[in-house]
Structure 1
């Protein structure tokens, strides 16, 4: 039987030192997203709020989209701010990605939208708003009480072209009758998103064939070098090559960003401290696979083959990333490190001076205009608790590892293993250990959100399953719809609707876990993993088989914590003891939220608003967008980026176009007055 709504609450995922009734900013939890306390929860235009049940079945969505956009476009082209606002709900949202604002901003309500339009419309010069010929309008049903008409559009602006998406609701109707809904004036945008698509003829997916894509590869220096020689000289930085952009990290985020620069004709260099691109994926435990479907994780320009498995093994991904770097002609220096302490930005020349050391010991001075930190979501310093007795345990033959470098050994068959943690890595490693004949105990210190991959994940991702297939949208088109139709606060408010479906699909699984004492929660406000991801970055598991082993008792479960090690095991804080040969800490990372601090130091971290604070892993600000991720920072020429594949794919294109615009001499000064939220007393500090 599926648990009732009363069975789920936020209590298990609240920090132990936090008041149980209010968020950290003193805002009731019922009124704020996650646990940050500064992002107001939106009010959705449900039938109850509208005051009627609209006759959506009567709506001709194509006719509505054409008529609404004609009126909306006319208001935009005339730069009539009041007329534009008249097309938007009073409490509606406008999300912009690097076009009107040259930033990533979400403006909520007319009081915030109108000043932005008043300042930026004249500079932007938007005109020729038109229905997208590539993405059809549709009726989007999100429950019996909530539907939108989803529209997609294109437009021209002063320096190129843009794209947009919006959710229409009949907020100006009185009864919701067919005759009312047939009138475009009955509808308003509940949310609208705009983004840059091309700049001066360049786009981040195809480049510019007229000025960049040559019919035949020729040596620009007239030295008759072959393609292979040209590539080697460029990659090795010969003939005075200086990259315009230096990217730190050759994981999927860094390579995606580099691919955009390659397409846009911007000289780039990726620095990777390990010996291959994609190392962070290939170096992890052998059974690791992506829990996000492959069809959402395509890379720019070179999508995965359609025959790839739905959940891609990390080792296969690592191999693909290495080949991707080669096929896209990306300039990657492996076994190379940056001396962050000596990194200096010169405001007079708009250049960084960077000192890097390659694997052969040679030092190089680079002077790029832009420095990008793409060292990953999780960071690189494993968080291994300092527990008394660890040395004695290891001296007696015991093994202590961390999930970041864990490798199951065939000789461990029959060994007693303890896995500390109960999120994704802990479950994956526990499953792998059982497969290799180990006796496994999982320590679940706090409750975990669980959702099945085969049932729930595939059901909730079903609308995007045809991405890059004959009857589906190309990845870049799917991204336009996904990332522009709603800002994060709206997405957050809709999450519990998907989780309600997931709980029904997973009822038997969840009940089997409860029966063995497994502690479950369902995310903030019942929103599941995505309600937690941007704030906590963990605490959930999308089940790929481990849960059945826990439910059947093949993996034992304990809820205490290790007080100290003995020579042959552990003593828990409740006084019980357990023999152990191997202890795996699946306890995350120490610097997962401070990439700038780790590379460039405390002062730069503070300047860029980067801070370590529990409950806001992605530095989400009051607007519901990250104040760090993929957006311009207070330090000119510096960017930080970290996120999942689809997010990186979409936002890398917008950020690369922003930099291309700057290289073309276009003023890309961001729209000001960006709210950053409360300051953190932990700015630039790495906690234990």
Structure 2
């Protein structure tokens, strides 16, 4: 194994040599020779290409063990350096490394990868991080996408127009879909779009009357707190003249436009009532209600795209049921106009709690916030902007996504910790102002801030868009829940027996876990079998998201718009392989 020099030709030769050695030893089932190409503390993230799953192998020993398990497999790989992305020496992950984007072919498809090579103490070039991600299946093994209605416009004597064809296709009067997707939010629509491009028949059902209502019906002032550049959906990027932070109603309209423009089959105003899997036929029986009529659909695969949360969570606070004023959960809150001049307590200090408290203040209410636990707070500018700087690049979005997912959990965690330290220094005045008035902050259990908090818990943080300043200036009061005993008819009761009256309560207390939704729809046995949804497993991968679950034919997808775009690709690949009879590498 040669040492790497500094000349471009020398670097390219060393990289090509490493890839050639990796290909040869991997195809030769030489586990120990493959493993030695990695640094001792290396991490290999594989998405469907080698393990048939979303996995991260930590350390040379774990990598060698995984290679030994696969010794009987017949898969072969052919690697080549990307023709479009140059080998680059950078410190993107906090450590100097040669960052190499490569492509590869397998017996069933093709993929993309990123390896970061470092020199060890002896000068040998070894992999510190590796990503291998399946990105497509061989066309001759999969179904051909059927001709779209627009492509049939001038064929034969059939005088039906495009709309006629679309209505027939979306009616499912004479067939069942291959895939039934429950939920027409960003995740469900992104997945449906990718499946359609792959020729897989997918139907999306949603309880709302219009696509996009899951955003439109949220509180009035809501807008995205991350930047437009990171939030594009597959095939249809947002227009360049759109605002950096997209308002909820604009986003809802875009989702509706997306579903129509991509010609997705969506049934709105449709409830999903119950479902069960038949192991004999390998199909689901899912009962849906639409327009007063019920129908049992029998798809091969069922995808729950209902988010990471279930029903609204009402907190178990003593005396809450005794309160005589109106109590509104954040899921039902629209705006603060009805509370003008009233004393309102917002229970909860996450994103919704802050946004609602700020909206109430703007509408002339006297607002207090009951903080039940410490909250991660970061400024939008300059703090959170640093997190999304990656997507301000002019590089193609697919390339940015590839580099994004190429960072394995241990490196991602350390990078988040360093970035959180930097943001904390920039936000020191903001945090000091909050702490001074009794608002309790922290930077996460391990100092990794809101980035890792989102992946681990889905909430518990706030990106400041103005409410923190109102709190620091005491325009919105903060009450520490530890000082309170509960509620009575008039308001809040403190531990010392004193009371603070309120006219109304808004509960920004989150939602039940999505596993409750699984239990309601498919039964507790299925929910218990698949276990928790979202949060990170021992390898740092999201639990039960876009990967096989313990229940045959059941899949889940969740997350924001970036997660919808990135991970819908990999779920669509798995579903396409399943309906096409293709066995992914590593699958039994």
TM-score bucket of the superposed structures, by smaller chain: over 0.9
C-alpha change, 1:58 and 1:528, in structure 2 (3 Å) is: farther
Distance in 2 (CA, whole Å) between partners of 1:413 and 1:627 is 43
Per-residue deviation, 1:450: 0.8
* Match 1:442 to one of 364, 369, 375: 369
Per-residue deviation, 1:270: 0.7
Equivalent position SS for 1:524: coil
C-alpha change, 1:386 and 1:670, in structure 2 (3 Å) is: farther
Q: Residue in 2 aligned with 1:344?
A: 276
Distance in 2 (CA, whole Å) between partners of 1:215 and 1:276 is 24
| Equivalenced residues, count | 584
Tell me if the contact between 1:142 and 1:497 (Cα under 8 Å) persists in the aligned partners: no
TM (norm. structure 1) is 0.79
Distance in 1 (CA, whole Å) between partners of 2:7 and 2:505 is 62
Q: Residue in 2 aligned with 1:372?
A: 303
Q: Residue in 2 aligned with 1:217?
A: 152
C-alpha change, 1:120 and 1:227, in structure 2 (3 Å) is: farther
* Match 2:582 to one of 653, 657, 666: 666
C-alpha change, 1:64 and 1:501, in structure 2 (3 Å) is: farther
TM (norm. structure 2) is 0.92
Runs of 4+ aligned structure 1 residues displaced above 6 Å come to 54-60, 219-222
Per-residue deviation, 1:400: 1.1
* Match 2:134 to one of 196, 204, 228: 196
Higher strand content, 1 or 2: 2
Tell me if the contact between 2:308 and 2:513 (Cα under 8 Å) persists in the aligned partners: no
Per-residue deviation, 1:208: 6.8
Tell me if the contact between 1:61 and 1:139 (Cα under 8 Å) persists in the aligned partners: no
Per-residue deviation, 1:213: 7.1
Answer yes or no: is 1:158 the counterpart of 2:85: no
Answer yes or no: is 1:262 the counterpart of 2:189: no
C-alpha change, 1:632 and 1:277, in structure 2 (3 Å) is: same
Distance in 1 (CA, whole Å) between partners of 2:277 and 2:17 is 50
Distance in 2 (CA, whole Å) between partners of 1:139 and 1:356 is 54
Deviations for 1:64-93, whole angstroms, at most 9, x for unmatched residues?
433432333333344433322121123322
Per-residue deviation, 1:671: 4.6
C-alpha change, 1:510 and 1:632, in structure 2 (3 Å) is: same
Q: Residue in 2 aligned with 1:311?
A: 245
Equivalent position SS for 2:169: helix
C-alpha change, 1:335 and 1:68, in structure 2 (3 Å) is: same
The runs of 5 or more residues in structure 1 that have no matched partner are 1-53, 175-179, 181-185, 467-471, 612-616, 673-688
Per-residue deviation, 1:487: 2.1
Distance in 1 (CA, whole Å) between partners of 2:67 and 2:349 is 47
Distance in 2 (CA, whole Å) between partners of 1:255 and 1:150 is 33
Equivalent position SS for 1:289: coil
Q: Residue in 1 aligned with 2:527?
A: 605
Answer yes or no: is 1:139 the counterpart of 2:89: yes
Answer yes or no: is 1:639 the counterpart of 2:555: yes
Tell me if the contact between 1:373 and 1:595 (Cα under 8 Å) persists in the aligned partners: no
Matches within 5 A, 1:266-281: 266-281=200-215
Q: Residue in 1 aligned with 2:40?
A: 90
In terms of mean alpha carbon deviation, does 247-256 or 65-74 score higher?
A: 65-74
Per-residue deviation, 1:348: 2.7
Per-residue deviation, 1:252: 0.9
Equivalent position SS for 2:309: coil
Q: Output the aligned Cα RMSD.
A: 2.8
C-alpha change, 1:63 and 1:575, in structure 2 (3 Å) is: farther
Distance in 1 (CA, whole Å) between partners of 2:415 and 2:89 is 16
Per-residue deviation, 1:372: 0.5
Per-residue deviation, 1:399: 1.9
Q: Residue in 2 aligned with 1:25?
A: none
C-alpha change, 1:501 and 1:339, in structure 2 (3 Å) is: same
Answer yes or no: is 1:427 the counterpart of 2:358: no
Deviations for 1:604-632, whole angstroms, at most 9, x for unmatched residues?
11222x14xxxxx6253222223411111
